[in-house]
Amino acid sequence: MRGVAWPDLRSPREARERLRLQRAAQAATSVRKSAMDTAVAQIGAAFDEASAVSAFKIRVERLLQLGPRHPAVRARFGARAEMLSGRGLDAAVVRV
């Protein structure tokens, strides 16, 4: 799409999500809608199911980038890791 540059964000997924939101705004603008209609279209795109899935994937990407020793990752997943410690994959899946 012309006129929309890829934003400089942390990951390609974030860039694609930003581009998707920009395209929704451009689509609303291109059919000569009011500023309010454009805003409503952009808000709708920002809170639709695709956006929710993308936000989840971005959070997972960030946690993976931090690594297992990062304090935020340990705080979030430490108890579960302790619960599954010493179990094989099959036993861990059953336990979860």
Summarize pLDDT for 24-65 with one digit per residue, the tens.
Answer: 878 777 777 788 888 888 888 889 898 899 999 999 988 998
88 falls within a domain: yes
Range 4-30 average pLDDT: 75
90 falls within a domain: yes
6 falls within a domain: no
What predicted TM-score, i.e. pTM, was given to this entire model?
0.60
1 falls within a domain: no
How many domains are there within the chain?
1
Give me 29's structure tokens.
Answer: 């603008």
The parent domain of residue 33 ranges over: 12-95
